[in-house]
Amino acid sequence: MSDAMIRVVLIDDHPALRMGLRIVLEQAPDVQVAAEAGSGQEALALIQALRPDVAVLDCQLPDMPGSQVAAELRRLGLATRVLALSAYSDDAAIRGMVEAGAVGYLLKEEAPAAIVEAVRAAARGEGRWSAAVASRLAAWAVRPAAGEAGTDLTSRELEVVRWLAQGWDNQRIAQELQISEHTVRFHLRNIRDKIGVQTRTEAAVWAVRRGLAED
């Protein structure tokens, strides 16, 4: 397997849906479905054994919620990125997955090409959100109060985190701001330090909740 190949585990309790996802993903030359799971416990065992790049994870499984699976992966310190793929767009489902560390959240109605691109983005640690999910995230937005962590972001850092909150990758942010990707990564490190988070997904959610992704 080449370094560019993205290894994926599919986790959903509907075999027909998993089959459809496998067909969609394996049409992409850079994606390989390493395994499938129909329950949370099975998923955790497979991911610990196989160490895939991405876990495409349903929010509702027979034995535990998807958020519990994602939280356990984070607790174990595994590098596998979680992409939520669900039929649910309610606050509880979205918040549970995001707070458990999911790097993106798509609804099952998304076009196949969008799912493939979201898997690629997840492998890079970047978020992709269905429109309905992004709308729910934006509904949580509050403006930062005086003295709140993150209010000392520079104007350029605010620009970077705004595009990050809209799901842009480093290359696109760099092109928009006419700076190098190295400079984007530098700004993102500073942003994470200032707002007290560890990942770009947490920084994106922080920004969305504060309305920084709004037009």
Residue 1: inside a domain: no
**pLDDT tens profile 50-91:** 999 999 999 999 999 999 999 999 889 899 999 999 998 888
Q: Phi and psi (nearest 5°) for 105?
A: -150, 110
Residue 215: inside a domain: no
Q: What does the alpha-carbon distance between residue 103 and residue 124 come to, in Å, rounded to a whole number? A: 10
**pLDDT tens profile 156-181:** 888 898 888 877 888 889 998 899 98
CATH number at residue 202: 1.10.10.10
**Percent residues over pLDDT 90 in the chain:** 48
Last residue of a domain, which of 92, 110, 137? 137
**pLDDT tens profile 113-154:** 999 999 999 998 888 889 888 777 766 544 444 445 555 788
Q: Which among 33, 181, 207 has a CA at the least distance from the CA of 116?
A: 33
Q: How far is CA 113 from CA 32, 43, 116, 120, 129, in A?
A: 15, 24, 5, 11, 14
Number of structural domains, the chain? 2
Which residue blocks in the chain are alpha helix, DSSP H?
15-26, 40-50, 66-75, 91-99, 112-123, 131-139, 155-165, 170-177, 181-195, 200-209
